[in-house]
Structure 1
Amino acid sequence: MTVEKKLIAFAIFACTFMGAVEITIVTTAIPSIVKDLDGFNLSSYLFSIYLLTSAIATTIFGKLSDLYGRKKLLQLSIIIFLAGSLLCGISRSMIFLILSRGIQGLGSGAINTLSMATIGDVFEVEERAKIQGYNSTVFSIAGLIAPVIGGIMLIKLSWHWIFLINVPIGILSMILIHKSYNAVESRSNEKLDLKGLSVLTIFIVFLIQAMSALEKHPFLSFNVGGLLIISIITLIIFAKIEKNVEAPIIPYKLFSKEMFVIMVICFLNSSILIAMDVYNPSFMQSIQGHSPIMSTVPIVPMSLFWVFSSFLLSKVIKKYSTKIILSVSLLVLAIGCFGLTLLRPESHPLWMGFYAAIIGLGFGGSFNMLLFVVQETVSKENIGIASGAVAFIRTLGQTLGISAFGLILNNIVSDYFKKFNMNIDTSTILTNTGIKKSDIVQSLFIGYNKIYITCFIVGIICVLLAFMLPSSKKLNSY
């Protein structure tokens, strides 16, 4: 690998670090923010608008990069992200902060898509597996240290500074991209399909809003079911528009049966990932009573074995078919999820670490392979929108996943206490002094166990879907 490639990889890692830090560091500052800005009733919008604008950016910037080149757009996306960060840092009202978070999310979604597309442009197939493995490790490390950094800043400085931490990292990324990214990028003569892009954006808005509302509203309510119907109608309109344009937003190859299977697996895979990130550390703290530092037990092994699996993938990626690699990787992932169902409140922490390592092995093969297959399916001219499609599907998977798993947990905890004729607010269960600690632990354990069982079932479904792929296709034959 050349020096230029290494510098580009480092720039991408820095971009990933920025995004991952921003996702988790804000959670530590929410109490201080809502108290300072008197905005407790609006606090959820700090996350929902970030998610929404990020999802929109994945498709828009993916297509724009195919038309106008990736280097300048990647730098622009970093500028947008940093501008949003600076605006968040100087916010003096909740509304201004929410709007600034929207700008931040727009830059984050663009960076995510363009980073994946850049990896597809610059690196060979074998190199991509290693780079994605390192990238996943950077994401995990950033998510791990961000709450610590945020806590220190809240004590020594103020919540405003948590949004400014990424400014020097972003500037460094821009310099490295400017100096090292020497790919020749020519402007396409294709016209941007503004009508299709606008309708697609409306579809994304309604779909994300419906998925985000699933945890708090019934499926048949307008907030969920109504918005889903509107999103489906919008999607049908979008499909009709795309049939009549010369340069559609989404390449026709992404609508094949094979790509549909890949995208469904990608969606389900992402839902399992968000469950691992959220509930594994919480299981150790809320159920087993370990200190926050012990939450590294499930995170570190998963990250390390994700990298190891990525290196292994780089060695076998051209030797075995997509079906074999994905099936084996997803089966390993499902086995790891099954292991989590065996955990008990008294289980030794090393068992959590062992099962997390198995899950990391599965993710290292499946998560990376799914992206590579989609990128290799389309031409170089469409690799941006292909990467954007993967980023969008992953966002949907994590959004629906966290809502669905949260719904499962809340219902199980509520049902547990209803047996004792108690109606409790599940959002305050950990601080409710009127409930026995043993009952809190038991109710949460049942809920977490059901989540792990659900993840195992989803993992098996992914394996079955992988069997539907062609038996002979290797990645270099796409």
Structure 2
Amino acid sequence: MSAETVDGVGFRSERGPVLVSIMVSLSLVALDATVLATAIPTIVGELGDFALFPWLFSGYLLAQAVTTPLYAKLSDLFGRKPVMLVGIGLFMAGSVLCAVAWSMPALIVARAIQGTGAGAVQPMSVTIAGDIYTLAERARVQGYFASVWAIASVIGPTLGGLFAELGIWRWVFVINVPLCLLAAWMMIRRFHEDADRGDRSVDVRGAVLLTSGLTLLVLGILGGGQAWAWSSMASIGVFGAGAALLTAFVVAARRAVEPILPGFVLTRRLLLTTTLIGFGVGAILIGLTSYVPTYLEGSLGVSPVEAGLALTTLTIGWPLTAGLAGRIYLRIGFKSTGLIGAVLALLGTGGLVATAHQPSIVAMAALCFVTGCGLGLLALPALVAAQSSVDWDERGVVSGTHMFARSLGSAVGVAVFGAIANSVFGEGDVHTLGAATIQSGTAAVFVGVLVVAVASAAAVIAMPSTPPRTEP
């Protein structure tokens, strides 16, 4: 199967086997995004170090974010398939290490290895789809992708909660191994591409500077107020070094023949606004998936399974509207679709802030569902608008930049929200803190999530009203 479009969309079409292989690969990231949150209290109970638990998400997301631009550029140079296979292999290796982790720091390192794999799998999934399907066909394909997230949103939180209650939380990671093997086998067998593998340079220096700079900034956010005071020399040094490295990255990118993050992705108005939307979506999603289970288990005393079911409404709402978004944006445009999503996200997150001190599992589930519906209508039009504005040789880096922004939003979001929560929680954990303290901490996090939703809505408003272009 080459990266050229042919008639038919669906499992029985000529491209059907490729679609299935992409869906299996995407399921790795989708399941991992939903299965861990409900098991966190149990993991912390066994491994300890509650103050470090945000790094379980932040380490993964940071690794995913900083490697995504590199993988995206490599895919434009050498093809999508080899990059996808490397990502699947790293994800499986990280999963095995997570399953045998003996301490919280060891688990965090293993999660970071998982993240380096996810940095290839997720952007390559959407990039391959962008290569082999036209814009109109992509609207239908997104329905298939949405079904992956929908299934994962139901299975993930429930499975994570079940493993936690049974005391076998390590199976949260073990289940990834057979999925990785299946995804790799199907990708090898089913997807064939004709990629230009000419001798083109890779911006290694830029990749190192970007990775190092972002790592230091996130480390500074997570450590502030916990490992050191915000105004301490350690804090100033970490943030200063991070800023210096990112400045050096910008300079290096301007001089590189093939920059890891080309300047045009941030100078074109459409790409800049869609990138900001992706950042906001990532931050909102991680803020809720990280703290809704803790909020419900700590303030209401519900079981991990019950907390997982409440969180499921968020991850059901997203794929539900994402599956419909393709039809909507083909009729009213990308921007108008995004505005509908922004309004729903504002209603949902605003409701969470308003009800944080009157805990109700029903209200929480309903508001998470509304927020999820909004995110589905925000995320997909932004991604497809960005993809459809460029040709094949730029689509990998554009798709990768968008996924990079979403992953970075999640990484920075979990760091910021973790700092906010830790300022209230202190050294306690969900098993020792009182219900009132947990409500106060998560209420502060929800305010932060609402602020991000407002900023995302502003990015949608600034987005140019460009109708979907006709693709061959």
TM-score (norm 1): 0.82
Contact 2:386 2:398 in 1 (8 A): yes
Change (3 A) 1:62 1:138: farther
Matches within 5 A, 1:345-384: 348-384=360-396
Task: Give 1:370 deviation, angstroms.
Answer: 2.1
Q: Please name the residue that 1:445 is paired with.
A: 439
Q: Please state how far the C-alpha of 1:390 moved relative to its aligned partner.
A: 2.2
Deviates more, 1:21-30 or 1:215-224: 21-30
Q: Is the 8 A contact 2:316 2:369 kept in 1?
A: yes
- Of residues 230, 234, 238, the one that matches 2:241 is 230
Relative to 1, partners in 2 of residues 1:313 and 1:223: Cα closer, same or farther, differing over 3 Å? farther
SS of 1:84's partner is helix
1:212 aligns with 2:213: no
Match of 1:392 in 2: 404
Aligned pair in 2 of structure 1 residues 466, 211: CA closer, same or farther (>3 Å)? same
Q: Is residue 2:67 matched to residue 1:57? A: yes
Give the C-alpha shift of residue 431 in structure 1.
1.7
**1:297 shift after superposition:** 4.6
2:257 — aligned with what? 246
2:139 aligns with 126
Amino acid at match of 1:219: W
1:212–1:399 contact (8 Å) kept in structure 2? no
Change (3 A) 1:54 1:29: farther
* Matching of residues 391-410 of structure 1 within 5 Å: 391-410=403-422
Task: Give yes or no for contact 1:133–1:364 (8 Å, CA) kept in 2.
Answer: no
Tell me how far apart the structure 2 counterparts of residues 378 and 228 of structure 1 sit (CA, whole Å): 35
Give the Cα separation in 2 of the matches to 1:50 and 1:105.
4
Could you tell me how far apart the structure 2 residues matched to 1:381 and 1:312 are? 29
* Contact residue 88 and residue 117 of structure 2 kept, 8 A: yes
Alignment of 1:283 with 2:276, yes or no, is: no
Q: Which amino acid aligns with 2:282?
A: S
Structure 1 residues 323-332 or 119-128, which shifts more? 119-128
In structure 1, the residue matched to 2:347 is: 335
Structure 1 residues 386 and 19: CA distance shift in structure 2, 3 A: farther
- Tell me the distance in 1 between the aligned counterparts of 2:88 and 2:172: 17
CA separation of 1:92 and 1:189: change in aligned 2, threshold 3 A: same
State the match for 1:427 in structure 2. 428
Task: Give, as a single letter, the amino acid of the residue that structure 2 aligns with 1:14.
Answer: S
Within a 5 Å distance, the mapping from 1:246-325 to structure 2 comes to 246-256=257-267, 258=269, 259-325=271-337
Higher gyration radius (CA)? 1
Aligned-partner Cα distance in 1 for 2:256–2:139: 36
Structure 2 gap segments, 5+ residues each: 1-8
Equivalences for residues 2-81 of structure 1 within 5 A: 2=13, 3-17=16-30, 19-20=32-33, 23-24=36-37, 27=40, 30=43, 34=47, 49-81=59-91
Q: Deviations over 1:422-449 (max 9, x none)?
A: xxx44246426xxxxxxx3233333333
- Whether 1:190 and 2:200 are equivalent positions in the alignment is yes
Aligned to 1:151, the other structure's residue is in SS state helix
Structure 2 CA distance, aligned partners of 1:350 and 1:21?
19
Name stretches of at least 5 consecutive residues in structure 1 with no aligned partner: 415-424, 433-439
Distance change in 2, residues 1:185/1:215 (3 Å): farther
Residues 103 and 310 (structure 1), Cα distance of their counterparts in 2 relative to 1, 3 Å cut: closer
- C-alpha deviations, 1:176-196, integer Å up to 9, x for none? 212222333331442222232
Contact preservation (8 Å) 1:11, 1:177 = no
CA distance in 2, matches of 1:301, 1:30: 23
Partner of 1:107: 117
Deviation digits for residues 48-73 of structure 1 (CA, Å, limit 9, x no counterpart)? 65444333321221111111111122
1:329 CA displacement: 1.0
CA contact (8 A) 2:17 2:190 kept: yes
One-letter code aligned to 1:226: G
Moved more, 309-318 or 22-31: 22-31
1:360 maps to a residue whose letter is G
Q: Give the counterpart of 1:147 among 157, 160, 163.
A: 160
CA shift, 1:466, in A, is 1.8
Query: Residue 417 of structure 1 corresponds to which residue in structure 2?
Result: none
Q: C-alpha separation between the residues in 2 aligned to 1:291 and 1:91?
A: 24
**Cα RMSD (Å):** 3.3
Please name the residue that 2:3 is paired with.
none
1:409-466 deviations in whole A, cap 9, x for unaligned? Answer: 343x47xxxxxxxxxx44246426xxxxxxx323333333333333333322322232
Aligned-residue offset at 1:102:
4.2
Does the 8 Å CA contact 1:207/1:227 hold for their aligned counterparts? Answer: yes
Q: Does the aligned pair in 2 maintain the 1:297–1:349 contact within 8 Å?
A: no
**Partner-residue secondary structure (3-state), 2:124:** helix
| Corresponding residue number in structure 2 for 1:171 | 181
- Using the alignment, how far apart are the partners of 1:73 and 1:163 within structure 2? 22
Match of 1:435 in 2: none
Distance 2:131 2:402 in 1: 16
Distance 1:352 1:91, change over 3 A: closer
1:418 counterpart residue number? none
Q: Secondary structure of the residue that 1:191 maps to in structure 2?
A: coil
Indicate whether 1:462 and 2:456 are aligned.
Answer: yes
Deviations 1:193-226 (A, max 9, x none): 2232332232233233223324624433355443
Match of residue 126, structure 2, among 105, 116, 120: 116
**SS of the counterpart of 2:469?**
helix
Distance 1:312 1:381 in 2: 29
CA distance 1:271–1:99, change in 2 (3 Å): closer
- Kindly provide the CA deviation profile for residues 24-56 of structure 1, in whole angstroms up to 9, marking residues without a partner as x: 587467458748xxx999988766654443333
Describe the superposition over 1:280-330 as per-residue Cα deviations: whole angstroms up to 9, x where unpaired: 333333223333332245323323332231232111222223322212211
User: CA contact under 8 A between 1:297 and 1:350: conserved in structure 2?
Assistant: no
Say if 1:22 and 1:50 are closer, same or farther in 2 by CA, change over 3 A: farther
Check conservation: 2:39, 2:164, Cα contact below 8 A. no
Verify the 8 A CA contact 1:303 1:360 in the aligned structure 2: yes
